Amino acid sequence: MTVTLRYFAWVRERIGRAEEQIDLPADITTVGELVQWLKARGPEYAHAFAKADVIRAAIDQTHVKPQAAIGGAREIAFFPPVTGG
């Protein structure tokens, strides 16, 4: 399954890109598993996700918890806690 990953704020800066398409391995079923898989992709990912519990995620533009099932997600985003307003 192909999924678009999007990164924002310092997650984006550390990874060095704003978005990318990935082929999701069949054994990755939750957001938390995806984070672990990404961390193994290279030092920039390891750096971005070093404190994985700080990073927030959204599936198809809705906030989700790490244990959320990826299901048929088209777009998964990772970002720091929000600071608008």
Partner 1 sequence: MSVSVQAAAFNIALEVRSLTAGRTDIGAVVTFTGIVRGEAKGHPITSMELEHYPGMTERELARVEALARGRWPLQGVRIIHRIGVLRPGEDIVLVVTLSSHRQAAFEAAEFLMDYLKTSAPFWKKETGADGVGMWVDAREADNKARERWESA
Residues making contact with partner 1 (CB under 8 A): 6, 8-10, 58, 61-63, 77, 79-85
Residue 75's H or E segment, with its range, is strand 75-79
Q: Which CB atom, from 46 or from 82, has the smaller least distance to partner 1?
A: 82
Q: Which CB atom, from 26 or from 77, has the smaller least distance to partner 1?
A: 77
Min dist CB 8 to partner 1, Å, is 6
Rg over alpha carbons for the chain, rounded to the nearest Å, is 12
Q: Which CB atom, from 72 or from 85, has the smaller least distance to partner 1?
A: 85
Min dist CB 72 to partner 1, Å, is 18
3-class SS at 30?
strand
- Burial class of 61 by CB neighbour count within 10 A (0 to 12, 13 to 18, 19+): exposed
Min dist CB 69 to partner 1, Å, is 19
How far is 3 from 28, CA to CA, in rounded Å?
Answer: 12
